[in-house]
Structure 1
């Protein structure tokens, strides 16, 4: 039975599925541990709605968002500028 599923052709499928599960797990852990709107402990849930704007801003403006902030939303900027910008003589 194992030889039927464990073939070299299936390795990319296992790899992509593993990466997707890893990304989902990372996001789940991030939300449970740092999201200001998620309260796991009963004592914190009893507090009700909190006006904690600083904590919310820290959560939403994480390191990756700060890294890409201000950059053009392009995948290959060199190729895009070569084909879209007029030549500079």
Structure 2
């Protein structure tokens, strides 16, 4: 009864978007638990208190995605935006 209500082609995009959102959340949780210098899982690490480990914190903050997009323009389609907004470009 419930399967005929929820398993329809119309709800597949909903399942996909929720699945992507859950995947992104899970990836961020695993990243924080495994490599965040402020998160300490074991009892020995928690006993250390607050550490001034600036190198480890900078390594965590400057991850690969941030390095990749640092010198990119903050546009989704810069060539199309330039075509329609830049009068100096010759039309093809």
Shorter-chain TM range is: over 0.9
Gaps of 5+ in 2: none
8 Å Cα contact 2:83/2:89 also seen in 1 = no
Counterpart position of 1:69 = 70
Q: CA deviation at 1:84?
A: 2.1
8 Å Cα contact 2:37/2:57 also seen in 1 = yes
Aligned length: 89
TM-score, length-scaled by structure 1: 0.93
Which digits, 9 at most, give the CA deviation of each residue in 1:42-73, with x for residues without a partner?
11011111111111111000011111011111
Q: CA deviation at 1:86?
A: 2.5
Gaps of 5+ in 1: none
TM-score, length-scaled by structure 2: 0.91
Q: Alignment RMSD, CA only?
A: 1.1
